[in-house]
Each structure stands twice: as C-alpha cells, then as structure tokens.
Amino acid sequence: MNLPDVITIKVICKKEISNIITCLKVKAGNKNPYHICFPKSDGNGIARLLKSEFVGQFADHLEQGLMDYNGTIETADPEVEVYLFDPTLMLKNRDLYLAWPLFKHEKLRWKSREELYDYMTSCSNKNYKGEIKVINLELLNNIIYKIQERLLND
C-alpha cells in the first residue's frame, strides 16, 4: 500500500459530536489484521492520523505479538475497514490491559499504560454505533464516516 502522509476522518452524526475514536482494520500478510486508531475527534468530528503514527502503531502490533502478525505496510491491502472503536473489552478487563507494558511507539506519546487506558476508555464511543465502511486508502484519504446515537435498547 502506498500510505498517504495524512489520513483525515470526519465523523458525522445528527447531533454535534466530539471525543470519538475511529479505527482502521488493515490486512497485511496472512495472519491477524492490524488495528490502527485515530486520535479522538475534535468538536467538528474531525481527526487526523499522520503517516508516522500509522507506521508506529503498525510496528507496535509486531512488538506485542510477533507470532500473531506478518506482512508490511508496503504489502498491505489498500482496502481497509473503518470502524468505531469499542471500549467495552478494555473497561471489563482493566487489570489485564494494564499488565502490558507500553510499546516502543506508545512510549513516544504516553507516560504510562494507565494514561493510554484512560484516554481510550474516556471516549464518547459507548453512546454511538456505526457500520463498517470499506475504503481504499490509495484512492481516498479524506474519509466521511456516519454514526448514530445509541438508543436505550441498543
């Protein structure tokens, strides 16, 4: 895949939203897919993912589970899935999540695993739902992603 310098996502909902984390599911190699997360969206629903951040998160996958991942960004499929990050598992398994060390790229941004955990679990995502959207990153690096507010019975 020819990775763009910046990938921008604009999350759209019927009401004004912010603090939303979206992710990209990237297939590279023949093992597990890589999950690359955008930072939280701003007050306009916009988040930007720099190429260096994408590359760093990709490398962290290999560091945390060398036997679970293979492939490279260069050989990755440019068609990726855009999805809404779900903090449920993290919230239910706090101790397990905090037992992991920070990985090489994570250390550039976070002081501790707990700081990263707090950031990810404090997103507004649990109030929304979104469908998976497939895009080609070589053709589109400005993504529009529609989400909906969750109803009480969702």
Q: Could you report the per-residue pLDDT of 91-135, keeping only the tens digit for each?
A: 999 999 999 999 999 999 999 999 999 999 999 999 999 999 999
154 part of a folded domain: no
Provide the pLDDT for residue 153.
66
Tell which wins on pLDDT, 53 or 34: 53
Provide the pLDDT for residue 77.
95
Q: How many domains does the chain have?
A: 1
Provide the pLDDT for residue 120.
98
> The sheet that has 46-50: what strands, in order across it?
46-50, 6-12, 142-149, 128-130
1 part of a folded domain: no
Provide the pLDDT for residue 46.
97
Scored b (16 or more CB within 10 A) or e, 37-70 reads bbebbeeebebebeeebbebbbebbbeeeeeebe
Statement: residue 152 has pLDDT above 80 = no
**Residue 141 confidence class, pLDDT cut points 50, 70, 90:** very high
Nearest CA to 154 out of 92, 86, 83 is that of: 86
Statement: residue 28 has pLDDT above 80 = yes
Average pLDDT over residues 16-41: 93
Tell which wins on pLDDT, 2 or 68: 2
103 part of a folded domain: yes
Average pLDDT over residues 28-41: 92
Percent of the chain whose pLDDT exceeds 90:
80
How far apart, in whole angstroms, are the C-alpha atoms of residue 105 and residue 49? 14
99 part of a folded domain: yes
Give the number of other CB atoms < 10 A from CB of residue 151.
Answer: 7
**Residue 66 confidence class, pLDDT cut points 50, 70, 90:** low
What range defines the domain where residue 50 resides? Answer: 6-149
First-to-final CA distance of the chain: 36
